[in-house]
């Protein structure tokens, strides 16, 4: 992979779970595009720090504990008719509130990132007279990200 910008990046969502947590499993799903995305945050796992402080050594031993795959913020222009945004709203506080959704993120070179997440928030954002009415979604990623190289 070479360096690239975020231009042409798209994110799509599915309420279905892949049969396997790999490219084949995710590629078998049908995704709904999420429209009007203007920016995204960072994503990826982080291990918890576990320490042990024995009295006799006066040192702190450090270990990796559980892995949290983190939160992922998505900022959008609000589009109440967009099927992907309607699905985000349903996953956050609607009929699909308990669903762990599948996401497909396609980069400009055609490479993809697949991941599973729960949608914690889908909120509306006001602003100034010169701002587009927006919305924000917060995802909590539940498992490792599956990277697929560009075709």
What phi and psi, each to the nearest 5 degrees, are found at residue 34? -100, 120
pTM of the complete model beyond 0.85: yes
Q: Are 72 and 120 in contact (CB under 8 A)?
A: no
* Measured CA distances, 145 to 26, 108, 115 (Å): 11, 18, 5
SS (H, E, C) the chain: CCCCCCCCCEEEEECCCCCCCCHHHHHCCCCEECCCEEEECCCCCEEEEEEECCCCCCCCEEEEEEEECCEEEEEEECCCCCHHHHHHHHHHHCCCCCCCEEEEEECCCCCEEEEEEEEEEEEEECCCCCCCCEEEEEEEECCCCEEECCC
Residue 107 has a pLDDT of 96
Residue 11 has pLDDT above 80, yes or no: yes
Residue 136 has pLDDT above 70, yes or no: yes
Q: What is the mean pLDDT of residues 29-35?
A: 98
Residue 2 has a pLDDT of 81
Q: What is the mean pLDDT of residues 17-23?
A: 98
The architecture of the domain spanning 10-148 is Roll (2.30)
Q: What is the mean pLDDT of residues 39-64?
A: 95
Q: What is the mean pLDDT of residues 98-111?
A: 97
Q: What is the mean pLDDT of residues 84-112?
A: 97
Q: Are 100 and 17 in contact (CB under 8 A)?
A: yes
Residue 1 has pLDDT above 70, yes or no: no
Residue 25 has pLDDT above 60, yes or no: yes
Average pLDDT, the chain: 96
């Amino acid at each position: 992979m070479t360096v690239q910008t975020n231009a042409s990046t798209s994110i799509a969502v599915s309420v279905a779970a892949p049969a396997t947590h790999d490219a084949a499993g995710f590629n078998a799903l049908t995704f709904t595009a999420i429209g009007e995305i203007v920016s995204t945050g960072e994503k990826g796992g982080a291990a918890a720090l576990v320490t042990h402080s024995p009295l006799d050594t006066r040192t702190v031993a450090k270990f990796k504990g559980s892995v949290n795959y983190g939160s992922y913020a998505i900022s959008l222009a609000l589009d109440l008719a967009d099927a992907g945004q309607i699905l985000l709203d349903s996953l956050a506080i609607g009929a699909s509130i308990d669903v762990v959704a599948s996401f497909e993120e396609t980069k400009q070179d055609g490479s993809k990132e697949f991941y599973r997440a729960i949608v914690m928030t889908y909120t509306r954002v006001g602003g100034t007279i010169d701002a587009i009415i927006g919305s924000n979604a917060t995802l909590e990623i539940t498992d490792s990200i599956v990277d697929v190289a560009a075709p």
